[in-house]
Amino acid sequence: MTTTDATTLTRRSAIELAGMIARREITAAEAVEAHIARIEAVNPALNAVVVKRYAEARAEAQAADAAVARGETLGPLHGVPITIKESFALSGTPATSGLQTRATALATADDIYVVRLRRAGAIILGKTNVPQLLLYIESDNPVYGRTNNPWNRERTPGGSSGGQSAIIAAGGSPLGLASDIGGSIRVPATFCGLAGMKPTAGRTPDPSDFGLSAGEQAIVSQAGALARTVDDVALTIEILNGGRNPATEPPQPLGDSTAVDIAHLRVAYYTDDGTLAVAPAVRRAVVEAAGVLAGLGAQVVEWRPPEVPQAIDIFFGVLSADGGRGARQALAGSKVDPRIGQLIQLAGMPRPLLATLGGGLRLLGQRNAAAMLRNFGYHDTLHYWRLIEAQNAYKRRFAAALDNDEGGPFDLIICPACALPAFPHGASKDLVIAGGYAALYNVLGYPTGIVPVTRVRADEESQLKRSRDAVERAARQAEQGSAGLPVGVQVVARPWREHVALAAMRAIEERVRTRDDFPTTPVM
């Protein structure tokens, strides 16, 4: 295979590669070798793939080609090379979540979603980088180090599925297995110009038996997908679901996204949820995506979701309800990332001290940081129960707004996934609330996907005024120098209606991907 052929293969979608392998236009071995070569070319600059299994992948590719030669029935990803997030169990490899104490603990079996992808014919090339404990929206940890964004190496690809998004965007993998408890699929997708999806809470529960989410069931992590095309995301979600109508108990049927008539949908959109003002390019992307659906006949209405800051308080309150004890136990014996250390310290402080600290921050003009502190310091079961009651009440209020607000009942919501394009490295320490646009839908448990729309224009780098507030100052710095970075939009559906979101994502993708500013593979 020529160099040109290899480069072409790494720009193909997973569905295209599977079709070419099935038609014997290429071999699985050629597909695997092309993607290994691409990883080796770009990974030194990215540090995205942190566990490699090239020898095993090559052997599996030979077996896949033998199956084609025998005329066997092939799975939908037969012979297709993919990557998976480091936190998933893959037999013979560690799942450290950035903890040095877990670096030598090798999995003895595959997670259920790894099993399903392999049964579909996928060949796993390696595992991709994450933040420590999967707890912030950069991908940097003491075990593997920092992952860089292929669009700009001075920027993060996001987190916690940041290594996954970086290598897919750079062409080293066509799709990847990821997970999401607070934007961990959707923020990396928009930062790297990818499509992705977090399913409805309960459809694809994260099987990890380690980490902060293992015992906490109010806001739950879900397995999901990242890819360069919506069709690849749709196929992967179906595979992770165990099929369109899986033989599971209870069954979780998945609708047919190709049967959705966009013209019959009612769509709400918003660019400001009352937490952090969005960057100009993010605002433009949402308006343009909503306009695409309106142009296809959908009824599209500008809307304001109810009391989002309250939902974000619930999010941080639930995840810090143990006062950081679970995280401290998990971190014992490992070097602690400073961003994690800061969160744990806040979670463990007593309320009186936090109140004093909050008052001081407000006097210094740090209103966003002071507002965050109100979520910490509660370490009792009664407060946790009250949070769950508040969460359930908010879910009812949100559903009622979708049903009863002017223009409704709404089938879909189009909104930002993050207030900003990809942050400079280290900025997530001050920009925690920038990802609140995504975390809202973890509180609600709604299925939500990302579709890339555009890139930041030179005249959109910043319209923010100078501010004493550290969050607003970090947001202004993130916007500066952001020209050329990709921006996606979030497409949210009602629970268990992933197919409606996927249909809208596909429609948007079809209309914008031929534009000059559509995010394609970055030059590296």
Q: pLDDT tens digits for 235-266?
A: 999 999 999 999 887 889 999 999 999 999 99
pLDDT at 248: 80
Question: Considering the chain, what is the average pLDDT of its residues?
Answer: 94
Residue 335 three-state SS: coil
pLDDT at 6: 75
Fold of 3-311+384-512: Amidase signature (AS) enzymes (3.90.1300)
**Closest-CA residue to 507 (of 300, 286, 237, 293):** 293
More confidently predicted of 340 and 452: 452
Model confidence band, residue 455 (pLDDT cutoffs 50, 70, 90): very high
**Whether pLDDT at 87 is above 80:** yes
**Closest-CA residue to 416 (of 219, 273, 300, 302):** 273
Q: Are 18 and 76 in contact (CB under 8 A)?
A: yes
**Whether pLDDT at 11 is above 70:** yes
Residue type (1 letter), 408: G
Model confidence band, residue 211 (pLDDT cutoffs 50, 70, 90): low
Model confidence band, residue 411 (pLDDT cutoffs 50, 70, 90): very high
From 85, 127, 208, 221, active-site residue: 85
Domain ranges of the chain: 3-311+384-512, 323-380
**Closest-CA residue to 85 (of 176, 175, 170):** 176
Mean pLDDT of the region 360-369: 86
Residue 463 three-state SS: coil
Based on the residue annotation, tell me whether 428 is a catalytic residue of this protein: no
From 139, 160, 165, 257, active-site residue: 160
Q: Is the peptide bond before 250 cis (omega within 30 degrees of 0)?
A: yes
**Closest-CA residue to 485 (of 157, 39, 91):** 157
pLDDT at 317: 93
pLDDT at 128: 98
Mean pLDDT of the region 458-487: 92
Model confidence band, residue 488 (pLDDT cutoffs 50, 70, 90): very high
Phi–psi pair at 451, nearest 5 degrees: -130, 130
Least confident range from 114-118, 133-137, 340-344: namely 340-344
pLDDT at 385: 95
Q: Are strands 299-302 and 266-269 parallel, antiparallel or unpaired?
A: parallel
CB atoms within 10 A of CB 367: 17
Mean pLDDT of the region 493-521: 97
pLDDT at 348: 87
Model confidence band, residue 195 (pLDDT cutoffs 50, 70, 90): very high
pLDDT at 120: 98
Report the Cα 86 to chain-centroid distance in Å.
14
pLDDT at 42: 98
pLDDT at 65: 98
More confidently predicted of 361 and 440: 440
Based on the residue annotation, tell me whether 208 is a catalytic residue of this protein: no
pLDDT at 3: 45
pLDDT at 354: 85
Phi–psi pair at 179, nearest 5 degrees: -150, 165
Model confidence band, residue 517 (pLDDT cutoffs 50, 70, 90): very high
Q: Are 237 and 502 in contact (CB under 8 A)?
A: yes
Q: What is the pTM of this model?
A: 0.97
pLDDT at 209: 64
From 184, 257, 320, 428, active-site residue: 184
Element (H, E) at 227: strand 222-227
On the 0-12 / 13-18 / 19+ scale of CB atoms within 10 A, 406 is exposed
Model confidence band, residue 214 (pLDDT cutoffs 50, 70, 90): low
Residue 448 three-state SS: strand
Based on the residue annotation, tell me whether 184 is a catalytic residue of this protein: yes
pLDDT > 90 in the chain, percent: 82
Mean pLDDT of the region 53-81: 98
CB atoms within 10 A of CB 295: 12
**Whether pLDDT at 445 is above 50:** yes
Phi–psi pair at 444, nearest 5 degrees: -80, -25
**Closest-CA residue to 237 (of 226, 249, 221):** 226
Mean pLDDT of the region 23-40: 98
Q: pLDDT of 151-180, one tens digit each?
A: 999 999 999 999 999 999 999 999 999 999
Model confidence band, residue 369 (pLDDT cutoffs 50, 70, 90): confident
Phi–psi pair at 343, nearest 5 degrees: -65, -45
pLDDT at 300: 98
Mean pLDDT of the region 461-490: 92
Q: pLDDT of 413-433, one tens digit each?
A: 999 999 999 999 999 999 988
Mean pLDDT of the region 34-50: 98
